[in-house]
């Protein structure tokens, strides 16, 4: 009996120690708010200017938890049973008919092309990651550092933090993450910071 009680107490202590946060590391990046991650025009276009200060703070807290990989707080579960599914009595829609495609093998191909029924190629997807070099030289970041890239793009630091680099490598990788937020990673050091494109 006592032996089992000791095991239970030991197990509870291990669980309790695992739940205690040990502080934040120097490398941990905090989300600085959606208002700092977007331009004022993007912020307004997304309708976020209509949120109250409390609503904006709640959104930023959720995005911070989501971006850092922590489980965001969920809405409390209702004790009411789920409503019964609604059964629709309308008949199912038939599958859409594909337009004929020009194959080059029939005399109707020219008529199909003139009617505009040929398939248009889909626009190329926006790259979610690319490598470039900082010009004239990568020296790290501090505050609102601006990064000019060899491809003509200009990016600005959007998260708080600083990093000094004295090496010679100028290569960085820009990666688009969830919700369209971009991160700049210095390839030689492996350090990264949230950025936004300004040109």
Q: Where are the domains of the chain?
A: 31-71, 124-197
Residues facing residue 155 across a β-bridge: 147, 197
Q: What is the pLDDT of residue 180?
A: 87
CB 160 within 8 A of CB 32: yes
- Quick check: 37 pLDDT over 90? no
Q: Dump pLDDT digits (tens) for 68-106.
A: 656 545 555 545 556 666 555 555 566 665 555 545 556
Q: What is the pLDDT of residue 97?
A: 58
- Quick check: 193 pLDDT over 70? yes
- Grade residue 57 by pLDDT with cuts at 50, 70 and 90: confident
Q: Dump pLDDT digits (tens) for 105-141.
A: 566 666 666 665 555 555 555 568 999 999 989 999 9
Report the phi/psi class of residue 72: left, alpha or beta, with left for phi > 0 and alpha for psi in -120 to 50: beta
């Amino acid at each position: 009996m006592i032996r089992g009680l000791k095991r239970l107490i030991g197990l509870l202590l291990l669980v309790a120690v695992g739940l205690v946060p040990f502080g934040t590391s120097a490398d941990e990046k905090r989300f600085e708010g959606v208002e700092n991650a977007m331009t004022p025009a993007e912020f307004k276009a997304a309708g976020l200017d209509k949120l109250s200060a409390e609503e904006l703070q709640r959104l930023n807290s959720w995005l911070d938890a989501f971006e850092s990989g922590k489980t965001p707080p969920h809405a409390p579960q209702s004790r009411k049973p789920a409503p019964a599914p609604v059964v629709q009595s309308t008949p199912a829609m038939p599958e859409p008919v594909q337009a004929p495609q020009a194959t080059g093998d029939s005399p109707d191909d020219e008529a199909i092309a003139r009617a505009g029924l040929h398939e248009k190629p889909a626009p190329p997807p926006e790259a979610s990651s690319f490598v470039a070099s900082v010009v004239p030289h990568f020296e790290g970041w501090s505050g609102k550092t601006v990064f000019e890239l060899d491809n003509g793009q200009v990016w600005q630091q959007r998260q708080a933090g600083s990093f000094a680099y004295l090496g010679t490598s100028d290569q960085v990788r820009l990666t688009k993450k969830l919700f369209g937020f971009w991160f700049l990673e210095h390839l030689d050091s492996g350090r990264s910071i949230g950025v936004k494109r300004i040109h």
